[in-house]
A = this chain, B = another copy of it.
Amino acid sequence: MSSGDPDYLANANRLLRIAPYHQWIGVELLEVSKGRAVLRLPFRPEFVGNPLIPAYHGGITAALVDLAGGVVLFSELGIPTPTIDMRVDYLRPAKAGKALFVEATLRMLGRTVAHVDVVVKDEDGKEVATGTAVYTVKDRDNPDAGNFPIG
C-alpha cells in the first residue's frame, strides 16, 4: 500500500476511474501511502470558469478537495466514505492551461468520521486552494462494505 508499488498505484487509478466524474475530470493518483495521497489533474478547456484571467472554475478545485480526501480514506479503509461537509479556501486564481497538484493528508480517523486536509497547488508549487472535508467512516469495520469503488 505505498507509492513505491507500481501495481498498487495502477490498480488504485483503475478503481478511481470507475466513477464517471473522475474519468471525465481526468485526475490521476501519483502517490498514496499511509494517510497521504498526491494526485495530478491535467488541464482541460472545460475547466475554465473565468475566461478573462483565464482561470479554473472554483467547482473544479472543490471537486479535487472532495475526491482527494476520499482517495486517502479509501486507501486506508478499502471502503467508500460519503462526504459529510467540506470547506474550500480559494487563495489565488488557478491559471488555465496548466495542471494542478493535490495533496491530501488524513488529519483524524475516528470511529464515526474522519477529517482530511487538502492543499491544491499549481505547476509552480504555488498554493491555489486549501480545504478540509469530513467523511463518514462508520462502516469501516463492516466486511461487507469493502467492495465499493472510490467515490
Is A51 an interface residue when CB atoms closer than 8 A count as contact?
yes
* Shortest Cβ gap from A118 to chain B (Å): 12
Q: How many residues belonging to A are interface residues under a CB distance threshold of 8 Å?
A: 54
Give the chain B neighbours of A57 by CB distance below 8 A: 19, 21-22, 63, 66-67, 151
Separation of A88 and B133 alpha carbons in the complex (Å): 9
Q: Are A21 and B59 in contact (CB under 8 A)?
A: yes
B-facing residues in A90-134 (Cβ within 8 Å): 90-93, 107-108, 110, 112-113, 115, 117, 127, 130, 132, 134
* A108-B127 in contact given A21-B49, A21-B59 (Cβ < 8 Å): yes
A contact residues vs B (CB 8 Å cutoff): 18-25, 45-52, 57-60, 62-64, 66-67, 80, 82-93, 107-108, 110, 112-113, 115, 117, 127, 130, 132, 134, 136, 138, 148-149, 151
Give the chain B neighbours of A136 by CB distance below 8 A: 112-113
The A interface, classified by DSSP as helix, strand, loop or mixed, is: mixed
Give the chain B neighbours of A148 by CB distance below 8 A: 50, 52
22 contacts between A and B (CB under 8 A): A18-B51, A19-B50, A20-B46, A20-B51, A21-B57, A50-B80, A57-B63, A59-B62, A59-B64, A62-B63, A62-B66, A63-B63, A82-B93, A84-B84, A84-B89, A84-B90, A86-B87, A86-B88, A89-B134, A91-B108, A107-B127, A112-B113
